[in-house]
Structure 1
């Protein structure tokens, strides 16, 4: 049985983070009633069962048992543009970085380059912290550049996209549907652009995949390697049958 990975959302602000939960969870769920919420990530390539942990930062953070976060594969820090907020972020990351979560997002409502008060941090300062600690900065008020050729998700929409782009350790690939007619021309043609985006996302995570597999037993490592290989094969628009044919060679 696969261990269920975690997505940890930590609120470092004075504002509620319920809107982030609404982005991630299905509407019928009631996140306020529990701190750990099971949910399923579903894409056209795979499904994965995840536990979403959410809580506010408290002054007792340093006494928290770090082992409770050892299954965290995605860390979401909800911050504000103040020195106090990023001092909290620093303490959280000191405890979490030993587990090397592959997805690290720094979520902030908005940034500005010119600060008006001493306790505020400029956008350059926030970007510097993110780069030094390998976080992706999510500016919630960012809008798509209409002049750009590639329509990547930005702002709030990027949060869920980042979770769907990650190769979760317990993911289950979706098998291609078979019509049973045997007619080759009835098979749907792959979306090459979408497949390339998925392939590039997987390729960017190779290092974290290798590190994750080093902690598995030989049998689990073999199974995980097969899942990763199938993910790359699916991203290239190939079917499971073709993958099996390659393995039989």
Structure 2
């Protein structure tokens, strides 16, 4: 019996030592070392120079533009991504598989191509821009265009994290609640929403983090005007193009800190939600 148990335990993860070693080597080589090199470059500046770079008027303007556009893009992705996941899971209609495949298009499409497509559609002489700009709605070469580019590249994160969880929600529980007189809103608020909330928060946080680091799509549609439509990733690129590597590393460090803080808040919310669900 003991031999059987020992054999079963070994069979849980065959080759654990080797696979763990390869995984840690890959993580160190691809993720940890570049991040450590960037942090090392930043710390070599000294606190005074580091603070001078990240608190400069131009840098602060890029923080404001990037974070505000990312927040707007995430809020819209949270709404439309949730609705899109709901439609794909709960309804059957012609072209459903095509729509499901199109959701992943931003993952496969080079972001520069996405930026060119958005400019073609929303510029002053574009398909939609020619009608929107006379109404005072300027998208291309404006902060709204930045948010739109971020939405395009990050909406799959919300859809693809919510969709599988929504598919696993047991419909018989909903039918039982409906038979007891629960309204559609009560079913959603008390049965569906608690089940998908952790995945929804995870998808929104990934969408926000992806928006912070977006570059290719934004470069073409933003106009790249300092203090108006210049984002953090573009300022990092400009500093690299000027061979000012310490300044680029300093600004990239700020982006890294913002992303880590966002992920920490997200994990805290998910942990609280799980504890709340266990208590109730």
Structure 1 length normalisation: TM-score?
0.25
Whichever structure has more strand as a proportion of its residues is 1
